[in-house]
Structure 1
């Protein structure tokens, strides 16, 4: 959907009767929790919340700063708002990354032209859960095409279908990826929440870069069905929100039988291990982190500093080797069952070559081509061995070993260094992001706003063992309460 069509679609949803209502009582950065309270108190209604979001999308995303985070609007959004079922998300607009399937008028393409007009037959289970809880599926967000697994020279936030998403804090800088649009949309106040996906860093990196909360849960806690895959061993959806409280609310919808108690004193007595080897060398980031450590101590946390994470480099290398093998297997299976003109990785590579001017004006598809060569039984067996070892080194012999040695509740470090300038000709500048250990292990990873360096957001990471998701959210929520580091973006032009 191009910008003109998007504006016309939005105008159709913004009916004259609705536009005559007052929007000023809905704050541009209202949280899910706040909006839910307003709806329950009848201080607003779902149609007005929707109109507020649509108005923001016109003014911020498609004109004005032109963040370009929203790829497509749901033409049924107004009807959904009018008849939203009762539930914990009643009437609340949610955006979805464009690799999460919906069985409606919208596309699901991973940002690629190859999947246009071949729509999924059913909602992804996580979408069905959102709808049943009363959420209004507002639209799809842009992303790094194919979740950033196409080329080593890619630019995060660019897709052939959606163009380039920009960072709302500094429009000249990267929104990171691959859940670029989801992070930028929430940061810009276009919607109170979005769902992203992560294989390695694709939730926590853009969330930290755009100054919001991002949560990658334990792999398997949220159903991965209906998500365009890279590897089922690491792929997971997760919430991207303004607050940890909102992320916890969504987790209780997205994951079955998941509960969390966000105790305000969760940090008291908590043992937190500092991953010094993952903190980077940026002096301003490190200064922010030291201030955070003092606040954590003041809140009653016990800081163990430093803590070494064994085996993480070997685990990361093995994971990458197996991921390229698994990409071909998992993507072939997905494309075959979905149907359409492109039913295998080989056919996808051919499609991109045939549409080179639209699909590859800035970078190629080297990773796709490498993966396609890795389909022999011998290589697949090697990948399975590498995957088993990677998960063991990252999990039981990595994160778990560090936690057990020091009797820790969680591991912490700054999530990221400031993101770099956008340069479509050269691709990403690849600043430090702490994501690989938890991603390879399949363990929970939460990033919470920490502060700003050079006008760009920095996050603080909390990582834990498998299924420690509720504990990690509680720790992050308590940290958020004592720091309140998030601030609205300035949409700076330089």
Structure 2
């Protein structure tokens, strides 16, 4: 096959498919060859957890359909990877990286997976993730799971991958698939997107259905696309945005979502946009080298006509401390999910998982399970704890009303701009959207992105800004997969 899949966009692939230069079956084979060469051998990146045994048949069927009926749309015949906490009602497992769930099969596709299949996407496989979305224990490295092992950062193996959608970001960065789906509770798309030099869209909670996703937090969870370009991420987002009557959060999007977000891909999207930079608190962990990359990105935005308000500080930034919300919601949400597994499953509760891990300590407890134990024995699972209710109200007040809302109103902003994923905590607790875009690399080759954040259902504005910034910088480069610094 002469077609070059490295860094190929959805548009590139569709043009090649239409011309007959490639087939979807050939495309799947090409990705599988790269996975064999670099993920399972060679550098052993270890991002891919499982391959869909039906992927080649699905691809061939979509090739036949293309020839007879034409395409369903831009995702027709495009290979997509899914994070391992997203249900597929096929011959693949859904384990969230846990050996306790290594033999678990979902009864049906997650709602978003149904929509991807309807759009013609090929579910190529499942990717590794930080076990239980980094909610198993303290001290577990990002990208590690007892089922899948450790995912490596392809740009520098001494750097973290970011979590918990580590495999989703790394597989895309390494061109093991065209795009992927990750999930986020608090930085789990933005963090690996930043560290894998990919575009990650963390949607408003409710824009994308949560049905059929192994949960962490009822109030903060959302799935979102990860891709090498803003355009590809948006095309994937289009397939995900559908109202799901089985998901209460999804019903909040009625009348507030768009059927086609690609209309907001504007090269001059930065022109006249008012972008605020919350310098206080959010820049304290940046190195001088990272700060220089960020400041350079800001200068490029100014060159494209952006109005930069600097600083545009968030007055509650230092008040947003530990919250018990996720800890309490985890037990409640996980037990409800596990109770609905197929009848043959022996794991029906969080306690079952803890017991399984205790029975297999060498395989499962390399880093312990302190967080699982805390959730099981220090929360009721009924969401009636006084501290939980107070923290939930405080999160909304400090992060949403007195936080992002207040800062944007005070400075009349279209968006806030953060270095890397440092605004993930406040945007996730607010339930607000964010997009991370590659901005540069350190001398050691470690990627750094910038993150645009705004209020609920402001994805159109964020897409404009992210696309314009990307198009006028084009800094992303693929990892060499040959040598590390």
Fold-level similarity (TM above 0.5): yes
Paired residue for 2:108? Answer: 122
Aligned-pair distance for 1:90? 0.5
Q: 1:216 aligns with which of 194, 198, 202?
A: 202
Map residues 297-308 of structure 1 onto 2, 5 A cutoff: 297-308=302-313
Aligned-pair distance for 1:474? 1.4
Paired residue for 1:474? Answer: 464
Aligned-pair distance for 1:290? 1.5
Paired residue for 2:315? Answer: 310
CA 1:384 to 1:41, structure 2 compared with 1: closer, same or farther past 3 Å?
farther
CA 1:316 to 1:215, structure 2 compared with 1: closer, same or farther past 3 Å?
farther
1:87 aligns with 2:72: yes
Paired residue for 2:154? Answer: 168
Q: 1:347 aligns with which of 349, 352, 364?
A: 352
- The separation in 2 between residues aligned to 1:385 and 1:41, in whole angstroms, is 59
TM superposition score normalised by structure 1: 0.89
8 Å CA contact 2:328–2:381 kept in 1: the answer is no
Higher deviation after alignment, 164-173 or 405-414: 164-173
Paired residue for 1:440? Answer: 429
User: Alignment partner of 2:159: what SS?
Assistant: coil
Paired residue for 2:220? Answer: 234
Paired residue for 1:415? Answer: 420
Paired residue for 1:258? Answer: 259
- The separation in 2 between residues aligned to 1:47 and 1:147, in whole angstroms, is 32
8 Å CA contact 1:316–1:390 kept in 2: the answer is no
Map residues 187-226 of structure 1 onto 2, 5 A cutoff: 187-226=173-212
Paired residue for 2:369? Answer: 365
Aligned-pair distance for 1:386? 1.8
Paired residue for 2:334? Answer: 331
8 Å CA contact 2:329–2:381 kept in 1: the answer is no
1:159 aligns with 2:159: no
TM superposition score normalised by structure 2: 0.91
User: Alignment partner of 1:353: what SS?
Assistant: helix
What 5-or-longer segments of structure 2 have no aligned partner? 66-70, 243-257
User: Between Structure 1 and Structure 2, how many residues are aligned?
Assistant: 453
What 5-or-longer segments of structure 1 have no aligned partner? 1-21, 417-432
Aligned-pair distance for 1:27? 3.1
8 Å CA contact 1:316–1:440 kept in 2: the answer is no
- The separation in 2 between residues aligned to 1:252 and 1:474, in whole angstroms, is 15
Q: Deviation digits for residues 32-79 of structure 1, max 9, x if unmatched? A: 232123223333211111111111111111111110100000000001
Higher deviation after alignment, 139-148 or 333-342: 333-342
Q: 1:393 aligns with which of 382, 398, 416?
A: 398
Aligned-pair distance for 1:245? 0.6
- The separation in 2 between residues aligned to 1:36 and 1:378, in whole angstroms, is 48
- The separation in 2 between residues aligned to 1:38 and 1:470, in whole angstroms, is 29
Q: 2:26 aligns with which of 42, 48, 59?
A: 48
Paired residue for 2:253? Answer: none
CA 1:408 to 1:117, structure 2 compared with 1: closer, same or farther past 3 Å?
same
- The separation in 1 between residues aligned to 2:319 and 2:47, in whole angstroms, is 35
Paired residue for 1:244? Answer: 230
User: Alignment partner of 1:330: what SS?
Assistant: helix
- The separation in 2 between residues aligned to 1:328 and 1:130, in whole angstroms, is 29
Q: 1:464 aligns with which of 451, 454, 462?
A: 454
8 Å CA contact 1:285–1:458 kept in 2: the answer is yes
CA 1:63 to 1:311, structure 2 compared with 1: closer, same or farther past 3 Å?
same
Aligned-pair distance for 1:377? 5.8
8 Å CA contact 1:165–1:181 kept in 2: the answer is yes
